[in-house]
Amino acid sequence: MEFKIGEKIAKYRKLKGYTQEQLGELVGVSGQAVSKWERGLAYPDISLWNKLSILLNTDIESLI
């Protein structure tokens, strides 16, 4: 099954035990922004991918 970017972010976020609000706070965006990513309505800014991969304990390639 092919996962979309938002589904992958949600999967890794849940594995780490973060809420959308907590992940957003750690990355520097709102919980609403994380929700939009996970629903496929928006994508994280390119400048956030490295931090996201570190926080979610994975590599960028696994997220995209």
Name all contacts of 55-64 with Cβ < 8 Å and 24+ positions apart: 55/16, 55/18, 55/23, 55/26, 55/27, 56/9, 56/12, 56/13, 56/15, 56/16, 57/12, 57/15, 57/16, 58/12, 62/8, 62/12, 63/5, 63/8, 63/9, 63/12, 64/5, 64/8
Q: 61 falls in which pLDDT band (50, 70, 90)?
A: confident
pLDDT in tens, 10-52: 999 999 999 999 999 999 999 999 999 999 999 999 999 999 9
